[in-house]
């Protein structure tokens, strides 16, 4: 048996038109979007299929839109191929999709929670106060030293350990800009300010975590039927009682993505399937271990290739 892990993307993978073609061709996809519309009380599906992009980019819309699309694709994959994973993982927001896939969170509850999560994150830090930047081609300890030097009483820390040579930093905008200047002074040329309005996965998100904790306490959480590898620990877990704490910690802790992927490979995973729009995570896996096959689909032609070559 081929040991497979399903990976669920986070913010940055969204685009207007996602899911539209598959929804038109498969009832299971269409019905999933209808379920999402009913759960949220507005036409999320129309935003996914048509945009406008400005609405889709609002964090409180982006998060449920990506979750709905990922679960629609998951249900299509399961109904048409019967493929079942040994492990699940999601990048940041994608961890909620993984928990729905594991049977821990109800789909409707998860949609409403991530919509609130997006709003909490946006309201935690006034627009323009925070920033994020990608530092490329540099070791983690060098990035940590740059952040320490740049902080000067403010917050700037490594936020996403995505793959070898790709680390994202997050914090106060002034501190992030100081880190960029210090990196360039050290001869590091690939440092890119990211077009985001929220400095995710740093201590500035603690107020959002406090509000998220209250929201999570109000929804039921079940035992995980499939292990999820958490962003915070890069280790698999199945205990229902750990879900809320890990999700609250995740919002202000770094995403240990490279370690998570290596953990799954060390546990015997020999194939990764990205379930959701785009192929960001497939690209990261290839940079972590180019010998491991990765698959993704987000349109009809792509799904037919996936079906033919993986089943």
Question: Is 92 known to be catalytic?
Answer: yes
Q: How far apart are the first and last CA of the chain?
A: 11
Among 92, 104, 200, 230, the active-site one is 92
Nearest-10 Cα torsion for 65, 253, 229, 97? -10
Among 201, 252, 253, 260, the active-site one is 201
Residues 6+ apart with CB under 8 A from 179: 133, 135, 146, 147, 149, 150, 156, 169, 191
Tell me how far apart the alpha carbons of residues 57 and 54 are, in angstroms, rounded to a whole number: 5
What Rg do the C-alpha atoms of the chain give, in angstroms?
19
Mapped onto helix, strand or coil, the DSSP state of residue 52 is coil
Tell me how far apart the alpha carbons of residues 153 and 85 are, in angstroms, rounded to a whole number: 45
Task: Decide: 59 and 198 in contact? Cβ < 8 Å.
Answer: yes
**Across the beta sheet with 156-163, what order do the strands follow?**
156-163, 166-172, 130-136, 191-193
Mapped onto helix, strand or coil, the DSSP state of residue 267 is coil
Number of separate helices (H) and strands (E) present in the chain: 14, 10
Cα dihedral across residues 129, 132, 133, 139: positive or negative? positive
Q: What are phi and psi of 173, to 5 degrees?
A: -55, -45
DSSP, res 275: E
Question: Is 91 known to be catalytic?
Answer: no
Cα angle value 48/50/53 (rounded, 5°):
75
Catalytic residues: 92, 201
């Amino acid at each position: 048996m081929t040991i497979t892990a399903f990976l669920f993307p986070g913010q940055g993978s969204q685009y207007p038109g996602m899911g539209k073609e598959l929804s038109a061709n498969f009832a299971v996809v269409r019905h999933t979007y209808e379920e999402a519309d009913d759960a949220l009380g507005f036409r999320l599906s129309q935003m996914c299929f048509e945009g406008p992009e400005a609405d889709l980019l609002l964090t409180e819309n982006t998060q449920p839109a990506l979750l709905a699309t990922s679960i629609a694709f998951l249900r299509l994959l399961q109904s048409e191929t019967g493929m079942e994973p040994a492990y699940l993982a999601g990048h940041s927001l994608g961890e909620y999709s993984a928990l729905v896939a594991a049977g821990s969170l109800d789909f409707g509850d998860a949609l409403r929670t991530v919509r609130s999560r997006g709003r909490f994150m946006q309201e935690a830090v006034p627009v323009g106060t925070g920033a994020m930047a990608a530092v490329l081609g540099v070791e983690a300890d060098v990035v940590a030293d740059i952040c320490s030097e740049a902080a000067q009483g403010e917050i700037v820390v490594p936020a996403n350990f995505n793959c070898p040579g790709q680390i994202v930093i997050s914090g106060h905008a002034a501190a992030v800009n100081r880190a960029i200047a210090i990196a360039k002074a050290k001869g590091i040329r690939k440092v890119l300010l990211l077009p985001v309005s929220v400095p995710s996965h740093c201590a500035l998100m603690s107020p959002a975590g406090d509000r998220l904790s209250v929201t999570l306490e109000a929804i039921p959480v079940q035992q995980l039927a499939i292990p999820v590898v958490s962003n915070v620990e890069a280790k698999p877990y199945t205990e229902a009682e750990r879900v809320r704490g890990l999700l609250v910690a995740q919002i202000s802790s770094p995403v240990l993505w490279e370690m998570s992927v290596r953990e799954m490979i060390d546990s015997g995973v020999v194939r990764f399937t990205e379930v959701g729009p785009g192929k960001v995570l497939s690209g990261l896996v290839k940079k972590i271990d180019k010998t491991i096959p990765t698959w993704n689909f987000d349109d009809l032609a792509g799904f037919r290739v996936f079906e033919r070559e993986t089943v």
